[in-house]
Structure 1
Amino acid sequence: MKANISKISLIVALGLSVIGTAHAHEDYSEGASLHWLSHVVESKSSPTANQLAPFGYAATKGADREVTLTSTSKYLNVTRLETVKINVGGKSVVWTFDTLGLAAFPLAKVIPGTDGVTVYVTENPSYQGG
């Protein structure tokens, strides 16, 4: 009998904790990126360099895929938060495209010597609301 009361007490406690956290955010009318940004602004610590980088950042983890750009390359299609190993001019860079909704930008802003190449960023389906 004591085991049943303990189990019921645990279930009730967990249920109350879920109800309490359900009201933590009353307004979800803003977009997901704006909501995340509001938390960064409200946080007591300063944002990291990666959070502030508008085009993403050099990655230390392995790449999701590898792309070789040539002198005739005009564009690079990526998904937001994708990590890509980019080979250009005999050098390689592993880059995570954490762009916070940016749709397109010149790759030369990230990698020198890639003038004329535009990066087109699509939203990652894993992070879209729905």
Structure 2
Amino acid sequence: MKTTLTKIALIASLSAIGTTAALAHEDYSEGGSLHWLSHASESKSQPTANQLAPFGYQSTGTAARVVSVDADTKYLNVTRLETVQIKAGGKTVTWMFDTRGTAPFPLSKIIPGTDGVTVYVAENPAYIGG
């Protein structure tokens, strides 16, 4: 009986030590979420160039479709997060429309020489809540 109680006491004390070591921290002056936010804000990682690009970025991925832009083209309809291969003025660009929002913008922002063409971005149906 004495051996069983000794074993139980030993297991309980080791569990308590393990738990306190896991919860140990050098600074308890901050409370709850503010403390977590201070650690998150100390992160050294910076957003990538693709994450900062407001109109999307050039992609090496497979395009969902190919669009030819000529002198008669006035607009281009795309869906947010869609990858489109655009042929314009002898150039071919595969573009991922990973945009910040769905505001229209001039195609010339991403392909020089395509003045007068407006890109209209529709929200991706996969990301619309409902």
Trace 1:109-128 onto structure 2 (pairs within 5 A): 109-128=109-128
How far does residue 42 in structure 1 lie from its aligned partner after superposition? 5.2
Asked if residue 62 in structure 1 is aligned to residue 62 in structure 2, the reply is yes
1:88 counterpart residue number: 88
Runs ≥4 residues deviating over 4 A? none
In structure 2, runs of 5+ residues without a counterpart are 1-39
Give the corresponding residue for 1:38: none
Query: Once the two structures are aligned, what percentage of the paired residues are identical?
Result: 66
Paired with 2:42 and 2:109, the residues of 1 have a C-alpha distance of 29
1:14-93 matched pairs, under 5 angstroms: 44=43, 45-93=45-93
TM-score by length of 2: 0.66
Give the letter for the 2:77 counterpart: N
What TM-score comes out, normalization by structure 1 length?
0.66
Total equivalences in the alignment: 90
Change (3 A) 1:43 1:118: farther
2: distance between equivalents of 1:60 and 1:87? 15
Deviation at 1:43, TM superposition (A): 8.1
Gaps (5+ residues) in structure 1?
1-40
> Partner of 2:126: helix, strand, or coil?
helix
3-state SS of 1:72 partner: coil
**Aligned with 2:51: secondary structure?**
helix
Structure 1 pair 72–48 and aligned structure 2 pair: CA distance change class (3 A): same
RMSD of aligned C-alpha atoms?
Answer: 1.6
CA deviation map 1:87-122 (0-9, x unaligned)? 011210000001121320000011000000000000
Contact 2:107 2:117 in 1 (8 A): yes
